[in-house]
């Protein structure tokens, strides 16, 4: 998909392309690329879950007070 130059979408795609090109230019094994991607997704998921848990804890505290 082509995006308008310098739009947020265009920049995201450019950053992703540059990252992938770095892996390919360095002849990194596909398994390493996959594992790195999964690590990044896992870290992001863990951060989101931690934030979700804090919010749930706060909601439970608020609901127990009222």
| CB within 8 Å of 4: residues ≥ 6 apart | 10
The DSSP element (H or E) to which 60 belongs, if any, is: helix 30-65
Q: How confident is the model at residue 66 (pLDDT cuts 50, 70, 90)?
A: confident
pLDDT at site 31:
98
Q: Where are the domains of the chain?
A: 8-65
pLDDT at site 55:
98
48 alpha carbon, distance to own chain's centre: 10
Encode pLDDT of 9-61 as tens digits.
Answer: 999 999 999 999 999 999 999 999 999 999 999 999 999 999 999 999 999 99
**Contact at 8 Å (CB) between 14 and 5?**
no
Angstrom distance (rounded) from CA 30 to CA 33: 5
């Amino acid at each position: 998909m082509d995006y308008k130059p310098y739009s947020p979408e265009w920049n995201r795609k450019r950053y992703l392309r540059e990252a992938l090109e770095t892996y390919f230019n360095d002849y990194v094994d596909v398994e390493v690329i996959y594992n790195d991607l999964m690590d990044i997704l896992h870290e992001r998921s863990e951060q989101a879950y931690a934030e979700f848990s804090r919010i749930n804890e706060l909601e439970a505290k608020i609901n127990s007070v009222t």
